[in-house]
Structure 1
Amino acid sequence: MSDLWLTPDEVAELTSLEPTSYKAQCRRLARMGIAFTPNAIGRPLVPRSLFEPKPARKEARAEPDWSKVA
């Protein structure tokens, strides 16, 4: 299985539904506001990236305008 998507068992655990209940899983994910894409047989593909920590962003620090300093 690809690392891009949650496994069928992970989706079942997330939705508290049987791994083969694709339509019910899709409805539950939609109600939960979790993005997914149904594949050709209707199984919801949930991006793993939704549940991985995001790297901390470095804030851009403005340099002082030294030309204004006497």
Structure 2
Amino acid sequence: MKNIEVNGMERSIPKEVGDVQQLLHHLGLDNRILIVELNRQILNKEAYDHPIQDRDQIEIIHFVGGG
């Protein structure tokens, strides 16, 4: 297991979750419009293959429609 922080909360994720795209899939967010910040750096969608390390800090913002 890897221990990371997602949106300010500690989480344990399986070691098989190796990059940001896999994390989004693991969290059920891979089909949403998102902004992802990894260790205080905003990632472009093309960089979602960036590896996740133990103790990384990740912020995920997703948009919700409504009116």
Normalised TM-score (structure 1): 0.28
Larger Rg: 1
Question: More relative contact order in 1 or in 2 (CA 8 Å, sep 6+)?
Answer: 2
Of Structure 1 and Structure 2, which has the larger fraction of its residues in strand?
A: 2
Normalised TM-score (structure 2): 0.29
